[in-house]
Amino acid sequence: MTEAEFTDAVKNCNQRLFLIALSFTGNSADAEDILQNVFIKLWKYDKGFENDEHMEKWLTAVTVNESKNFVKSAFFKHSVPIDEKNIGDYYSFENTEDYDLFSAVMSLPKKLRTVIHLFYYEDLSVKEISDILKISQSACKTRLNRGRAQLKNFLGDEWRNE
């Protein structure tokens, strides 16, 4: 991978991957640490990619795996949360409904939040999510349904089931 290709990958995928890591950690500093590890792995990856989509899927899987490993670590389990700005401030929204929905998604428990985020914001299929998270497809579907139900309860009348 050339330096220009690497720089383009970082510019194009940085925010999206940051949000994935943030959905696991809930902390921007930890999400940034995860991204550093992801981009180091990208720089060292020497097998090449078939196309940009292949690279983006690989980066998504690596980000999810790095995030899962990070939240399992003793460091994360024993850390004290710091005051953070609102998690929705890291993402730009066209209207307040989108912001409210994203904030509601980020308030879900981690297992549900991760699946909802990967399905709706990253446009991954149930099979792709189950492969990345190493869970069965039925577990993935169950988490999606539970997440949707919690979002519906949380948002109430504002919920638009599209």
CA of 97: how far to CAs of 27, 44, 105, 118, 126, in Å? 23, 40, 12, 19, 25
| pLDDT score for 62 | 95
pLDDT digits (tens, 9 = 90+) for 98-137: 777 777 888 888 889 889 989 988 889 999 999 988 899 9
Give the three-state DSSP class for 152: helix
CATH of 1-82 given 1.10.10.60, 1.10.1740.10, 3.40.309.10, 3.40.50.2300 = 1.10.1740.10
pLDDT digits (tens, 9 = 90+) for 8-24: 999 999 989 998 898 88
Tokens of 152: 């519906």
Query: Boundaries of CATH 1.10.1740.10 in the chain?
Result: 1-82
Q: In 3-state terms, the chain is what percent helix, strand and coil (to 5)?
A: 75, 0, 25
Query: Boundaries of CATH 1.10.10.10 in the chain?
Result: 91-162
CATH 1.10.10.10 fits 91-162, yes or no: yes
